[in-house]
Amino acid sequence: QVRLVESGGGVVQPGRSLRLSCAASGFSFSNYDMHWVRQAPGKGLEWVAIISYDGSNKYYADFVKGRFTISRDNSKNTLFLQMNSLRAEDTAVFYCTKGYGSYYFDDWGQGTLVTVSS
């Protein structure tokens, strides 16, 4: 079955960087668009970024403003999110999600918590 396992979260000071990873298994990773979605503690869902199945197209939420970069390594079935210039408001659980068609999300990892605090 589909398995998505995020890692790389932790506590980081404002202005610093963090790189998240998502290891995928149980499906043909290279055939699917992949997304990052985040959820601040006790809050709603917020889409962050998408990368197309072959890595050729990437789109970001407006609030990213050039700070985050999504990438993937299809040879290793792994999705990444490089986050720079982190702010307190970036504190959230970050989920990697598999695209359902071009417009939705189906399978989700359990998430990795990023806490931005001095």
List residues near other proteins by CB under 8 A: 35, 44-47, 50, 59, 61-62, 95, 100-106, 108-111
The answer to whether 81 and 64 have CB atoms below 8 angstroms apart is no
Instruction: Compute the least distance from the CB of residue 16 to other proteins, in Å.
Output: 27
> Smallest gap, in angstroms, from Cβ of residue 105 to other proteins?
7
Tell me how far apart the alpha carbons of residues 116 and 100 are, in angstroms, rounded to a whole number: 31
The C-alpha angle with vertex 61 and arms to 63 and 110, in degrees rounded to 5, equals 105
Query: For residues 12 and 50, which CB has a smaller minimum distance to other proteins in the complex?
Result: 50
Give backbone dihedrals phi and psi of 95, rounded to 5 degrees, phi first: -110, 140
**Residue 12 vs 33, nearer CB to other proteins:** 33
